[in-house]
């Protein structure tokens, strides 16, 4: 469907509307992959280079921000630029004029962020300003808006740390993803036809996620005194986690810290340290690790086996843990917090375990179910299913009896029975889904679900998750699928979007 044109008064350049739509689509794909509670929203702000002109919200027209609050941002940005000591460019090809433009843009972005921070104080949302690009006498700023609560919930390292060339280091995967998104927007707006590249040659969200993962791993590399560009920790960890040793998958931990760190105790040292890029040798060494003895690496090579001791001062941010979980799966941890989880080369944030409030909200939204006794009964069933070590799948549907009859050739029918924790433990011990109704009655077990492919599957997830997603999205009846993975994490998929 062709989008309606914006009024001429708000149309600053020809591709403005399509650029914002493409940026919104990319933001949704990118940040939903990290946390579907973020609810990303893209808006465009125009800040005039002429102080006599007012600032404007470009798209959408009603962006929820008072445009007048940004009237002095450009002047404030130039003041920030003049007052701050900026690093010298490492590239001799950068002319003084180019450097001035870059620094002016950074100053305007920081000034805009100051206003956004003041407006966001104690608000539901949190806004993040991207790098501004000059178009038709205005600095066009792409702004990301998120729900504040989930943004604050994710662990992060200290902000406002920088590469040696002055670029900001990413303290979290979410910030790294925002940086990559903002870079894409700035590149698209810098083209001769601003924004056209976004819908002609769009970047895949998975590509940006991998780039974000790489930049997040630059932070521990630089903290250990190495050049992030040459260390390439993200690619190194992916390769090591993908290797098997005599058929076994790699499981164990690698501690990243300088040799002699006060919280590291060596059990025995290697006479000749093994470079991390000697992937098969590192994978072989990983076989010697135990739950309390780990590989010790300085960011460039493995130098010993040892353990973490004493009370680590997290403010130091110079001791990181790489946990190899299963085949091609690993985590980056700091001070007991998971900063990133990579699965088959695709980084993500650790998914939360089953949330009681979210489950109750899903029941109300999907079935209008609020009766405490029924909600509590279903909660006990789901809670018991979440303890299934090998994972399982529950499907709650308004027409469980009809669906059991429709799928009778690909399931085991049972006499309707109200699920108890004991029965739940029994019926979830076999493959296939368990079909029940909102009253908690089970009608069939071992169900092989069907459903139309929607294009929204996740190639990094297993068959259980993707079959549940297809079923929920194509079901003729209101339904909820609870997907329990082998690591105990739970996805609640609903036919009724929030």
If pLDDT is split at 50, 70 and 90, which confidence band does 7 have?
A: very low
What's the pLDDT at 461? Answer: 65
d(CA 62, CA 7): 12
What's the pLDDT at 83? Answer: 78
If pLDDT is split at 50, 70 and 90, which confidence band does 51 have?
A: confident
Best-predicted range by mean pLDDT (16-20, 254-258, 470-474): 254-258
pLDDT digits (tens, 9 = 90+) for 407-440: 999 999 999 999 999 999 999 999 899 999 999 9
Question: How confident is the model over 166-189, as a mean pLDDT?
Answer: 93
Question: How confident is the model over 155-162, as a mean pLDDT?
Answer: 89
The strand ranges marked E within 276-352 are 294-297, 301-308, 320-326, 329-334, 337-343, 346-348
- The larger pLDDT score, comparing residue 94 to residue 446, is at 446
First to last CA, the chain: 23
Kindly tell me the burial class for residue 24, based on how many C-beta atoms sit within 10 Å of its own C-beta (0-12, 13-18, 19 or more): middle
- The larger pLDDT score, comparing residue 143 to residue 386, is at 143
If pLDDT is split at 50, 70 and 90, which confidence band does 162 have?
A: confident
d(CA 352, CA 153): 11
Class of CATH domain 356-494: alpha beta
Q: Which of 226, 212, 239 is nearest to 322 (CA)?
A: 239
Tokens for 265, please give them.
């105790």
What's the pLDDT at 3? Answer: 39
Percent of the chain with pLDDT over 90: 58
Kindly tell me the burial class for residue 159, based on how many C-beta atoms sit within 10 Å of its own C-beta (0-12, 13-18, 19 or more): exposed
What's the pLDDT at 466? Answer: 86
Q: Which residues contact 30 (CB under 8 A, 6 or more apart)?
A: 40, 177, 181, 205, 208, 209
pLDDT digits (tens, 9 = 90+) for 100-138: 788 888 899 999 999 999 999 888 999 999 999 999 999
Best-predicted range by mean pLDDT (9-23, 164-178, 308-322): 308-322
Fold assignment, 228-348: YojJ-like (1 (3.40.1700)
Least confident of 64-73, 159-168, 294-303: 159-168
Question: How confident is the model over 365-380, as a mean pLDDT?
Answer: 92
Percent of the chain with pLDDT over 70: 91
Question: How confident is the model over 263-276, as a mean pLDDT?
Answer: 96
Best-predicted range by mean pLDDT (65-79, 169-183, 226-240, 245-259): 169-183
Q: What is the separation of C-alpha 453 from the centre of its chain, rounded to a whole number of angstroms?
A: 24
What's the pLDDT at 346? Answer: 92
Can you give the pTM of this predicted structure? 0.77
Question: How confident is the model over 47-63, as a mean pLDDT?
Answer: 88
Least confident of 3-7, 25-29, 47-51, 81-85: 3-7
- The residues spanned by each domain of the chain are 8-203, 228-348, 356-494
- The larger pLDDT score, comparing residue 207 to residue 195, is at 207
If pLDDT is split at 50, 70 and 90, which confidence band does 352 have?
A: low
CB atoms within 10 A of CB 20: 22
In the DSSP assignment, the letter for residue 67 is G
Q: Which of 318, 266, 324, 314 is nearest to 291 (CA)?
A: 324
Tokens for 431, please give them.
């493959």
Q: Which of 114, 113, 157, 151 is nearest to 131 (CA)?
A: 113
What's the pLDDT at 31? Answer: 94
What's the pLDDT at 1? Answer: 36
Q: Which of 148, 61, 143 is nearest to 108 (CA)?
A: 143
Domains 228-348 and 356-494 share a fold: yes
d(CA 350, CA 463): 20
What's the pLDDT at 5? Answer: 36
pLDDT digits (tens, 9 = 90+) for 296-347: 999 899 999 999 999 999 999 999 999 998 888 999 999 999 999 998 899 9
**Cβ–Cβ < 8 Å for 164, 226:** no
**Cβ–Cβ < 8 Å for 270, 303:** yes
Mean pLDDT of the chain: 88
3-state class percentages of the chain: helix first, strand second, coil last, to nearest 5:
40, 25, 40
- The larger pLDDT score, comparing residue 177 to residue 389, is at 177
pLDDT digits (tens, 9 = 90+) for 450-461: 876 555 656 556
β pairing state of 244-245 and 294-297: unpaired
CB atoms within 10 A of CB 137: 11
Unique residue bearing structure tokens 């929920």:
472
d(CA 166, CA 181): 19
If pLDDT is split at 50, 70 and 90, which confidence band does 497 have?
A: low
d(CA 374, CA 493): 19
Q: Which residues contact 49 (CB under 8 A, 6 or more apart)?
A: 74, 134, 137, 138, 139
What's the pLDDT at 250? Answer: 78
Question: How confident is the model over 228-237, as a mean pLDDT?
Answer: 89
What's the pLDDT at 390? Answer: 82
What's the pLDDT at 2? Answer: 37
Secondary structure class of 180 (helix, strand, coil): helix
The angle that helices 205-223 and 16-32 make with each other, rounded to 10 degrees, is 60
What's the pLDDT at 94? Answer: 63
d(CA 385, CA 381): 6
> What is the Rg, in whole angstroms, of the alpha carbon atoms belonging to the chain?
26
β pairing state of 252-256 and 294-297: parallel
């Amino acid at each position: 469907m062709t989008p309606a044109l914006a009024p001429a008064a708000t149309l600053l350049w020809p591709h403005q509307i399509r650029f914002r739509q493409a940026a919104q689509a990319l933001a949704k794909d990118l940040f939903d992959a990290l946390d579907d509670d973020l609810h990303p929203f893209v808006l465009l702000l125009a800040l005039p280079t002429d102080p006599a002109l007012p600032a404007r919200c470009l798209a959408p027209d009603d962006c929820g921000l008072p445009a007048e609050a940004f009237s002095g941002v450009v002047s404030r940005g130039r003041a920030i630029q003049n007052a701050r000591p900026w690093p010298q460019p490492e590239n001799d090809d950068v002319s003084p004029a180019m450097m001035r433009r870059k620094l002016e843009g950074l100053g305007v972005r920081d000034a805009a962020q100051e206003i956004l921070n003041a407006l966001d104080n104690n608000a539901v949302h949190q806004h993040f300003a991207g790098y501004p690009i000059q178009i038709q006498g205005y600095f066009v700023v792409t702004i990301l808006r998120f729900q504040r609560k989930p943004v604050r919930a994710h662990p992060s390292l200290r902000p406002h740390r920088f590469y040696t060339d002055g670029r900001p280091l990413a303290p979290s995967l979410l910030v790294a993803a925002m940086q990559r998104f903002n870079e894409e927007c700035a590149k698209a707006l810098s083209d001769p036809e601003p924004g056209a590249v976004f819908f002609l040659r769009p970047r895949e969200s998975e590509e940006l996620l991998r780039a974000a993962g790489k930049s997040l791993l630059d932070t521990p590399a630089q903290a250990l005194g190495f050049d992030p560009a040459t260390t390439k920790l993200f690619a190194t960890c992916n390769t090591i986690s993908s290797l098997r040793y005599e058929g076994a998958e790699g499981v164990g931990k690698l501690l990243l810290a300088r040799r002699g760190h006060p919280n590291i105790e060596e059990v025995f040292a290697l006479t000749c340290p093994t470079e991390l890029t000697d992937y098969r040798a590192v994978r072989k060494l990983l076989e010697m690790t135990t739950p309390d003895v780990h590989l010790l690496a300085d960011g460039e090579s493995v130098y010993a086996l040892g353990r973490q001791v004493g009370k680590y001062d997290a403010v130091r941010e110079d001791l990181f843990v790489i946990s190899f979980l299963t085949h091609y799966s690993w985590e980056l941890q700091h001070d007991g917090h998971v900063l990133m989880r990579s699965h088959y080369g695709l980084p993500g944030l650790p998914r939360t375990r089953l949330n009681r409030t979210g489950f109750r909200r899903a029941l109300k939204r999907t079935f209008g179910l609020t009766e405490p006794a029924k909600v509590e009964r279903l909660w006990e069933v789901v809670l018991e299913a979440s303890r299934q070590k090998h994972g399982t799948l529950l499907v709650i549907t308004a027409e469980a009896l009809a669906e059991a009859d429709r799928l009778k050739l690909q399931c085991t029918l049972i006499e309707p029975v109200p699920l108890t924790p004991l029965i739940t433990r029994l019926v979830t011990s076999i493959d296939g889904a368990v079909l029940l109704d909102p009253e908690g009655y089970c009608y069939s077990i071992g169900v092989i679900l069907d459903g139309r492919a929607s294009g929204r599957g996740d190639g990094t997830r297993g068959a259980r998750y993707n079959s549940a997603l297809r079923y929920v999205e194509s079901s003729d009846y209101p339904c909820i699928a609870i997907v329990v993975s082998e690591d105990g994490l739970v996805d609640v998929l609903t036919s009724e979007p929030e």
